Amino acid sequence: MTPALSSSLLVLSLAFPLLAAVVLAARRTGNSGSLSLAFAWVYAALASVTATAALTAPQALSAVGSTFRIGVSRFEFAPALTLDARGALFLLVLALCPPIVLTLLRGVRSSDAAGRDARSQDVAAWALIFGLAGVFLVDSLLLFYLFWEAALVAVYFWIGLHGRRNRFGGPVYPALLRFVLFTLAGSLPMLASIAAACAANFRDPGLSGLPAALAHLPESTRTWVFFGFLLGFAVKLPLFGFHGWLRDTYNVAPPACRALLSAAMSKMGAFGLLLVLAPAFPDELARFAPALLILAALGALYGGLLMLAQDRLIDMLAYASLSHLSILALGIFSSAATLGTVSSTTAGFSGAALLVFSHALVMAFLFALDARALPQTSGFASPDRGVLAGLRARQPRLYAFLLLAVFASASLPGLNNFPGEVLTLFAAYTVSPWFALVAGLGALVGAAALVRLLHDAWLGKPEADASPAVVSPDLSRRETMLATAVSALWLVFGLYPMLLLRPLERAFALVHAAGWLP
């Protein structure tokens, strides 16, 4: 693969969502849903090719623009894109989740006052994908922050225009505003840290140059810069303690937004932890590792326990998301804690990267199925325990895939969540067996709660008159084919994760060689 080809792939992967958003915004009439779906499939192909190229290439792919010198102090800034094996997994997430979500939710879209398909949700969706692509692809810190906030703005518009009042959060706008302000409160310290990093040498070091740029700062400054970044990523992931926005935001968000929030936007936090924090702040991570590990393990347990007290699938899935993302964070912090010690292991990093990919696929699928399963007339409601029963009689295929997805999220061996989870739990174990135990318990309890809810709503004798409206029909042929393809993907990556692990190990070794470890 020539450098020119790889650069153009990178630029295309970044520019395509923007183009899609513009085209969709410019359309005057008609149903934008099908066009959006078509764009999603094209982008899936494009981004998958780029990601595969990054996975198989010996070095990171990059596309570098010309250097600008701005202002009085001649601040150096070179817009650049970069993608290595670690980032490739994030790009794959972005490639695969939108088609899944958009296909399954074709029937569950909101419309404007005249009953036409509302364009703004597609535009907002593509704007979100554009922001995310930027976060995963750019190499310059300033652009990174720009795209970070761009994603937030896109979500703001999406939820603001198409959100729905809910039982927990109340009216849409206050919940949305709380979410945005809270996330901002987390990202502004990150901006301060970026400013500090850039001011160190009067140039924008980029993600790859960050370790070197920070090396000359005094230790106390480095600690503050570390906390700035950590705060921004912790709120996005979310890490336990910063997760208060999850429940209400997921409740007011429209279904497709909810699915993409959990699958893709949370990965921004994971991206930051794995590709920004871990390489650039090994000492600080090692120093604060005990506290961070406790947070992550508690998050896994907390998410699982809270699932026991929910009676709607939406809330359960939100907390399941919290639980699994905490396990992901556990892997990253464990590996960061053990690097340089006797029991050093990068298993946690690899496991976390794998979990990024698998968690996204499974969660997007679960959230989409959850919204798909329900009576159309009651909007975006979620199966309520005790109201519906025996849905399986009418939705056998949907239930089969839902059950498979629940097993996948419960890390059944053979499906793609297992290798990631085993590696992260192993890394946690090498720090202390208690972390692995607590996280494992959380996963167990959460899976039990999910299966219980599934049983209550789908199994049992169908209640003849209990369901208030017509139950959604079963999956169509096209949806079944998509679901089968996704399940096949899970099986492939569950049985042969070396496809991803080998490039990942290579990438981590490269970063190591470039002077990551002290």
Partner 1 sequence: MINHSLAALLPALPVIPALSALLLALCGGAWLKKGSYNLVGGTAVAGAGIAFALALALWPAGLPGSSAALVFDLGPWIAAGGFDAGLRLTADSAGYAMVLLVTFFGFLITTYSVGYMRHDREQSRFFASLNLFVASMLVLVLADNLVLIFLGWEGVGVCSYLLIGHYWDEKGVPLAAYRAFFVNRIGDILFLLGVFTVFAAFGTVSLSELSARAASPHGGMMMFMGREPLAVLAAFLLLGGAFAKSAQAPLHVWLADAMAGPTPVSALIHAATMVTAGIYLIMRLDWLYAAVPQARFLIAACGLVTLVVGAFMALTQTDIKKILAYSTLSNLALMFLALAACSAQAAMLHLLGHAFFKALLFLSAGSVIHAAHHEQDARRLGGVLKSLPVTRLAFWVGCIGGAGLIPYLSAGFFTKEAVLESIRLSTFNGFGLGVSGSVVYWVVLAVESLSALYLFRLLGYLNGAASPTAHDHHHDHGHDGHHETPRETSPAIRFVLIALTIASPAFALFSATPALTAWVTAGEGHAEHIHWGHVAPFIALNIVLAAATYFVFASARRREGLLAALSALSWKGRGPLDRKFWFDDLYAVAVVLPLKVVAWVLRLVVENLFIGLLHLSALAGRGITTVASRAQTGRPHHYAAAILLFMAFAAWFLLWRRA
Whose Cβ is closer to partner 1: residue 133's or residue 355's? 355
Residue choice 45, 309, 466, 485 for contact with partner 1 (CB under 8 A): 309
CB of 419 to partner 1, least distance (A): 5
Helices (H) and strands (E) counted in the chain, each on its own, are: 20, 4
Check residue 157 for interaction with partner 1 (CB under 8 A).
no
Taking a C-beta distance cutoff of 8 angstroms, is the pair 390, 471 a contact? no
Residue choice 310, 321, 358, 395 for contact with partner 1 (CB under 8 A): 310
Binding string, residues 53-92; x marks residues near partner 1 by CB under 8 A: ----------------------------------------
CB of 30 to partner 1, least distance (A): 37
Mutual orientation of helices 85-104 and 347-372 as an angle, nearest 10°? 10
Binding string, residues 85-124; x marks residues near partner 1 by CB under 8 A: ----------------------------------------
> Where does residue 45 rank: exposed (0-12), middle (13-18), buried (19+ CB within 10 A)?
exposed
Contacts (CB under 8 A) with partner 1, residues 431-460: 433, 436-437, 440-441, 443-445, 447-448, 451-452, 455, 459-460
Residues ≥6 apart with Cβ < 8 Å to 359: 263, 321, 324, 325, 328, 409, 417, 420
Structure tokens at 410: 């419960």
Residue choice 171, 241, 386, 473 for contact with partner 1 (CB under 8 A): 241
Cα–Cα distance, 346 to 344 (Å, whole number): 7
**Near partner 1 by CB under 8 A, which window of 124-132, 281-289, 463-471, 498-506?**
498-506
CB of 232 to partner 1, least distance (A): 14
Taking a C-beta distance cutoff of 8 angstroms, is the pair 93, 149 a contact? no
Cα–Cα distance, 111 to 161 (Å, whole number): 11
CB of 119 to partner 1, least distance (A): 31
Residues ≥6 apart with Cβ < 8 Å to 71: none
Tell me how far CA of residue 459 lies from CA of 398, 402, 462, in angstroms.
13, 13, 8
Binding string, residues 359-398; x marks residues near partner 1 by CB under 8 A: -------------------------------x-xx-----
Contacts (CB under 8 A) with partner 1, residues 404-433: 407, 410, 412-414, 419, 422-423, 425-427, 429-430, 433
Q: Specify the 3-state DSSP secondary structure of 470.
A: coil
Cis peptide before 238 (omega within 30 of 0): yes
CB of 331 to partner 1, least distance (A): 10
Residue appearing with tokens 């400054």: 221
Check residue 279 for interaction with partner 1 (CB under 8 A).
no
CB of 172 to partner 1, least distance (A): 15
Taking a C-beta distance cutoff of 8 angstroms, is the pair 279, 211 a contact? yes
Binding string, residues 163-182; x marks residues near partner 1 by CB under 8 A: -----------x--xxx-xx
Cα–Cα distance, 14 to 251 (Å, whole number): 30
Instruction: Please give the single-letter amino acid code of residue 188.
Output: L
Q: What is the DSSP letter of 64?
A: E
Residue choice 46, 188, 212, 308 for contact with partner 1 (CB under 8 A): 308
Whose Cβ is closer to partner 1: residue 16's or residue 179's? 179
CB of 347 to partner 1, least distance (A): 4
CB of 429 to partner 1, least distance (A): 4
Taking a C-beta distance cutoff of 8 angstroms, is the pair 316, 453 a contact? yes
Cis peptide before 497 (omega within 30 of 0): no
Residue ranges of the alpha helices (H) in 74-118? Answer: 85-104
Of 12, 7, 4, 159, nearest in space to 95 by CA: 12
Whose Cβ is closer to partner 1: residue 105's or residue 438's? 438
Contacts (CB under 8 A) with partner 1, residues 323-352: 335, 344-351
For 362, phi then psi, to 5°, come to -70, -45
Residue choice 5, 38, 42, 185 for contact with partner 1 (CB under 8 A): 185
**Near partner 1 by CB under 8 A, which window of 113-121, 224-232, 245-253, 360-368?**
245-253
**Near partner 1 by CB under 8 A, which window of 74-82, 93-101, 218-226, 500-508?**
500-508
